[in-house]
Amino acid sequence: MDCDEARRLLHRLLDLEIEPADRVRLEAHLAVCASCVAARAALHRLGEAVRGGASRYRAPDSLAARIAASLPDDTVGKERARAPARLSRARSSRWLPLAASVMLTALVSSGLTFTWTGQSDESRADDEVVAAHIRSLMADHLTDVASSDQHTVRPWFSGRIDLAPPVRDLAADGFPLVGGRLDYLDGRASAALVYRHGPHVINVFVRPAADTGAMPLTLHSRQGYLIGAWSGGGLAYTAISDVGVDEMTRLASLLAAGTVPTPGPPG
Amino acid sequence: MSEGARAKHFGEIALPHLDAAYNLARWLMRNEVDAEDMVQDAYLRAFRYFDGFAGTNARAWLLSIVRRVCYDALRRRSRDGISFEDADSPAFDDAIDGFVSRPVDPETSLLREADRALLDRLIAALPPLYREVIVLRELEELSYREIADVVGIPLGTVMSRLNRARALLLKAWQTNVAREAARGL
């Protein structure tokens, strides 16, 4: 490999979009070329500086209202227009400098089916989930235990809540674990796992499921947030974020794939 | 579906991506007033063609519309005498050639300052075709595939544009920080 090709592939390496074979060839070149190593360092610092230093402009709240007013039914977007401005500050200040990119892989292997339910019937439960999500972003209470180490987060829950949520760091898949938190939904304690995807925070609430059967992922949106719900292994999962459908589906499939099936219902 | 229900459904899918839409428009238009107008226009167009949207990636779909609206406006203005830079012009090739193969000093102190104002200014100074790939990749964290969909170019072109955009930005950054260092800042 010559330096010109190496310099081109450096971008793909840093963007986590490199083919495995190219990666091997590039790393062989980097082992013997100091100037390409230096170029990688410079690109890496530039990327960190841009992600951490450049502005990600947030739409003014009035814009959602303006758009809503110009659509046939002016109820659209009102919730968002009322959403507290503090939300965006909380989000941007916790910006991770480097987040892995989404690798859009086929979801076939996960066994999850995708259902778009335009609107949920369980609107009150949804409102609680949305409120818990917003609260976690606003009140500087995103996590009770802040750690990307699943071996720190998992034991933290034991003794505090009567279930063992499967905690896994998914940083390699673009969803770094931020930590865990105790929250309350439906008047009972719920484990909240906090993941991040780029600038987005994802709360995953885990509660005991009504039955041990697995329920495939369903998605719907509520007050501008996307809510994904599924269950398996005796646990019910509710994930909420402002990520897109693809990312939510992917996170759900990753979490569901890691769920160990329970031995079977007693009796 | 009634118009109201259709609008509600559209809102649920499109409004979560309003920040991404605004951020792209704000970077392309380089001012708040235009950015708001472009996003509003784009959302109305998106609503009009919403029935034709069958994909799952609403964000990429919306961003591609925002982008088109912004470029239409920029092109209109360039006809009015405001220059509209073209990434494929030979001048930009010249600016980058020779840079890519030049060694970079790893210990250079040029990159130590993550100065928000400076970075914003330098990114804003990039030609739009380079600026947008930096914004989509670094700030919106889109994959190469998504960028290809938004910009409407092949994957290979996404990569070459991103490479050139970063080379330009790196060069401008080093030059600026060196200038400040020379002034004793």
B58 touches chain A (CB under 8 A): yes
A136 and A227 both lie in a single domain: yes
C-alpha distance from A240 to closest chain B C-alpha (Å): 12
Beta bridge partners of A221: A226
Distance separating alpha carbons of residues B184 and A193, to the nearest angstrom: 48
A152 and A250 both lie in a single domain: yes
A28 and A109 both lie in a single domain: no
A239 and A227 both lie in a single domain: yes
Q: How many residues does chain B have?
A: 185
A12 and A139 both lie in a single domain: no
Domains of chain B: 3-79 (1.10.1740.10), 90-182 (1.10.10.10)
Q: What is the domain extent for residue A41?
A: 3-53
**Block residue for tokens 């401005």:** A85
User: CA dihedral defined by B65, B144, A204, A141, rounded to 10 degrees?
Assistant: -80
The stretch B88-111 carries a mean pLDDT of 42
Q: Which residues of B touch A17 (CB under 8 A)?
A: 143-144
pLDDT band at B185 (very low <50, low <70, confident <90, very high): low
A48 and A62 both lie in a single domain: no
Nearest by CB to residue B170, choosing from A42, A71, A101, is A42
C-alpha distance from A71 to closest chain B C-alpha (Å): 6
B138 touches chain A (CB under 8 A): yes
Whether pLDDT at B173 is above 90: no
The stretch B84-102 carries a mean pLDDT of 44
The pLDDT tens digits for B127-165 are 999 999 999 999 999 999 999 999 999 999 999 999 999
Q: Which residues of B touch A4 (CB under 8 A)?
A: 100-101
The stretch B47-61 carries a mean pLDDT of 81
A33 touches chain B (CB under 8 A): no
Task: Name which of A40, A56, A248 to mutate to probe chain B: the one with the most chain B Cβ atoms within 10 A of its Cβ.
Answer: A56
Choose among A160, A198, A196, A208: nearest CA to A181. Answer: A160
Q: What is the token pair recorded at B133?
A: 């790939």
**Block residue for tokens 């646990």:** A235
With CB atoms and an 8 Å threshold, state whether B23 touches A102. no
Choose among A255, A257, A129: nearest CA to A195. Answer: A255
The stretch B19-26 carries a mean pLDDT of 96
267 residues of chain A, pLDDT tens digit each: 899 999 999 999 999 899 889 999 999 999 999 999 999 999 999 998 898 888 999 999 889 888 888 877 544 444 444 443 333 333 332 222 222 222 222 222 233 333 333 333 466 788 888 888 887 876 567 787 778 888 888 888 877 887 888 888 898 889 999 888 888 887 778 899 999 998 889 999 998 887 777 888 888 887 778 899 998 888 889 999 988 888 899 999 898 876 544 444 443
Q: Is residue A267 part of a domain?
A: no
Q: Is B51 or A167 the better-scoring residue by pLDDT?
A: A167
Window from A102-111, A223-232, B15-24, B75-84 with minimum mean pLDDT: A102-111
A212 touches chain B (CB under 8 A): no
Chain A, window 187-206: residues with a beta carbon less than 8 angstroms from a chain B beta carbon: 197-199
Q: Is residue A234 part of a domain?
A: yes
The pLDDT assigned to B98 comes to 36
A170 and A223 both lie in a single domain: yes
Question: Terminus-to-terminus CA distance in chain A, angstroms?
Answer: 63
Q: Is residue A263 part of a domain?
A: no
The pLDDT assigned to B184 comes to 61
Query: Could you tell me the CATH number of the domain that includes residue A133?
Result: 3.30.200.100
A233 and A121 both lie in a single domain: yes
Q: Which residues of B touch A52 (CB under 8 A)?
A: 114
C-alpha distance from A216 to closest chain B C-alpha (Å): 18
CB pairs under 8 A between A and B: 181
Residues A157 and A164: beta-carbon distance below 8 Å: yes
User: CA dihedral defined by A165, A170, A176, A179, rounded to 10 degrees?
Assistant: 10
A233 touches chain B (CB under 8 A): no
Distance separating alpha carbons of residues A201 and A47, to the nearest angstrom: 21
The pLDDT assigned to B35 comes to 95
Three-state SS at A171? helix
A193 and A113 both lie in a single domain: yes
Closest CA in chain A for residue B121: A54
For CA atoms B73, B79, B83, B86, give the dihedral sign.
positive
A8 touches chain B (CB under 8 A): yes
The pLDDT assigned to B164 comes to 93
